[in-house]
Chains A and B, each alone.
Chain A
């Protein structure tokens, strides 16, 4: 079974630029999550999708971050404009549904904002 795929793996941009990350969850998984992991901290949930609808985006900085999951499969997370404090690893995870215990994580995208 293929795991959660993310791209790119690494990205370096300058502040005020925009950037987008892509995630393809495990086939058939209805729930998709985006996490932000700042160096030295545990991952923090940014947004949760159930199919193509948003379940929880309470921690998403909506003035600069946006995410979509068209057709309820893959998803993109965008930052525009980026700030220095956005430097982090962005993790995507999926689960069969929002009630299943286990979330399966992708390898992450490491973003560096200069």
Chain B
């Protein structure tokens, strides 16, 4: 079985300050992990993904995430928030084992990021 827990339902930061969105996962197999962003009335967009290569993953728009197996975490960070970063962020784990569930994505509950001027 696999699951994803996003530790904060809402995060509020000021423009120009660092962003930290926390995610813990549980997986019976070596996982692939993703962060997706969803702006209002728009589709989900892939920010970055971890697929067993480098543990520090860089994504679009200055975001990055570090896979820490010992802590079962995949936190998303950005050094300096921009107003356009305000959106909902989803941490996602993917099954990489065989069977009919192969490739199935399990989403976290989401974290709403608010950026204040």
Smallest distance from the beta carbon of B10 to chain A beta carbons, Å? 11
Q: Does A40 contact B (CB under 8 A)?
A: yes
Residues of A near B49 (CB, < 8 A) are: 101-102
- Whether A56 touches B44, Cβ cut-off 8 Å, given contacts A40-B109, A42-B109, is no
The chain B residue sitting closest to A54, CB to CB, is B100
Smallest distance from the beta carbon of A62 to chain B beta carbons, Å? 16
Smallest distance from the beta carbon of B26 to chain A beta carbons, Å? 15
Instruction: Please report the C-alpha to C-alpha distance between residue A103 and residue B105 in the assembled complex, in whole angstroms.
Output: 9
Give the size range of B's interface with the partner.
20 to 34
Contact of A41 (CB < 8 Å), options: B45, B51, B100, B110: B110
Q: Does B41 contact A (CB under 8 A)?
A: yes
Q: Does A106 contact B (CB under 8 A)?
A: yes
**A8-33 with Cβ < 8 A to chain B:** 31
Smallest distance from the beta carbon of B92 to chain A beta carbons, Å? 8
Q: Does A64 contact B (CB under 8 A)?
A: no
- Whether A56 touches B100, Cβ cut-off 8 Å, given contacts A44-B107, A105-B44, is yes
A42-B4, A58-B100 known; 19 other A-B pairs, CB under 8 Å? Answer: A4-B43, A41-B110, A42-B107, A42-B108, A42-B109, A43-B105, A43-B107, A44-B107, A48-B103, A56-B101, A91-B44, A98-B102, A98-B103, A100-B103, A101-B94, A105-B36, A105-B43, A105-B44, A107-B41
Please name 20 pairs of A and B residues whose Cβ atoms are closer than 8 Å in the assembled complex, sorted by A. A3-B43, A41-B109, A41-B110, A42-B107, A42-B110, A43-B90, A45-B104, A48-B103, A56-B104, A98-B103, A100-B103, A101-B32, A101-B51, A101-B94, A105-B44, A105-B45, A106-B43, A107-B41, A107-B42, A107-B43
